[in-house]
Amino acid sequence: MTLEPGWCLVLGASSGFGAAAARAFARAGLDVAGVHLDRRATLPVAEAVAKDVEAAGRRVHLWNQNAVDPERRAAIVGELAQLSAGGARVRVLLHSLAFGTLRPLATPDGVSPAQLAMTLDVMASSLVGWTQALCAADLFEPGARIFAMTSEGGTRALPAYGPVAMAKAALEAAVRQLAVELAPRRVAANAICAGVTDTPALRKIPGHEALLATARARNPHGRLTTPEDVAGALVALAEPGCGWITGNVIRVDGGEGIAG
C-alpha cells in the first residue's frame, strides 16, 4: 500500500503504537518526523526506529524533546516547515503520548491537582496544541489525517486509572471537535481504540497481568492486539478513499470489545 508523498508526524515515536506506526507509514511511502522523550538508557529504541525508516527508503527526523512544552513544540514545527519546504507537507499526525499519573481520584492519598493537570495536558490537551501549531504554519496537506490513541478506559472505570480515563475522554471529545472544525481544510480526525496491547505504557497499570490475561481469553482470536495490528489499520485509514471517515472512535481490537 502506497500513500501520497508527505510527512507523518508521530508524537511518542520511540515505542509501542508510535514506533510501529512510524515503521508502517515509512513502508507506505511517508517520511517520518517523530517526537519522543528518552533518556540515555532507552535512546537505542528511538535509534532503531530511525534506522528502520531509513531502510524503507524514507527520510526521518526525530526530536528527543518534551512534546508538551509549547516552546519546544514551536521550534519543532518551525524545523518541520523547513524540512517540508517546496515539497509535500504533513499527511498524518499521530498522537500517541502515554504518560500520566495512575492514582485513585477519591482517596486522600490519591491524585493531586498538579498530577491531574499534567495527565490531562500530556494525554489530551497536547493534541489541540499540536493541531493549532500545524494549522498556523499551514503544514497540513488537504486530505491529511489526525489520529489519537484512546482506550477502553475512556468509558470504563479501572483501578487507579481515573486520571488517564479522564484524559482519554477529553481526547475523544477533542477529536470530535477537530473533525468538525477541520472539515473545511479536508483534514479528518479520528480516535483509535486499540484492544489490550502489551506495551511499556500498559505495564505501568496496576494489575496489568490480570488485564492481559483477561483480554487474551476474551478476544475471539485468542491473542492480544499488537502495535503492528494498529499500525496497519492506521495506514489503511490514511488512504485517500477513507477521507470521509472522521470524528469517530474506531476500535482496532479483533472483536475484543464486543466479545463476552
Note whether residue 165 is domain-resident.
Answer: yes
- Compute the distance between CA of residue 60 and CA of residue 57 in angstroms, rounded to an integer: 10
Residue 115, in any domain of the structure: yes
What's 54's domain CATH number?
A: 3.40.50.720
Q: DSSP strand E in 28-73: where?
A: 31-36, 60-64
pLDDT digits (tens, 9 = 90+) for 191-220: 999 988 877 776 776 667 777 777 788 899
- The answer to whether 133 and 73 are in contact (CB under 8 A) is yes
> What's the pTM value of the predicted model, to 2 decimals?
0.94
| Residue written as grid cell 528511538 | 46
Does residue 133 belong to any structural domain of this protein? yes
Closest CA to 236 of 71, 74, 92: 92
Output the pLDDT for position 92: 98
Instruction: For the beta carbon of residue 106, count every other beta carbon within 10 angstroms.
Output: 7
Identify whether 2 is part of a domain.
no
Residue 149 lies in a domain: yes
- Computed over every residue of the chain, the mean pLDDT equals 93
Reported confidence tier of residue 154, pLDDT bands at 50, 70, 90 = confident
Containing domain of residue 144, as a range? 7-252
- Provide the pLDDT for residue 217: 82
Asked whether residue 260 is domain-assigned, the answer is no
**pLDDT tens digits, 41-51:** 889 999 999 99
pLDDT, tens digit (0-9, with 9 covering 90-100), for 47-92: 999 999 999 999 999 999 999 999 999 999 999 999 999 999 999 9
Q: Is residue 127 part of a domain?
A: yes
Decide if 172 is inside a domain: yes
* Residues ≥6 apart with Cβ < 8 Å to 48: none
In the chain, the number of structural domains is 1
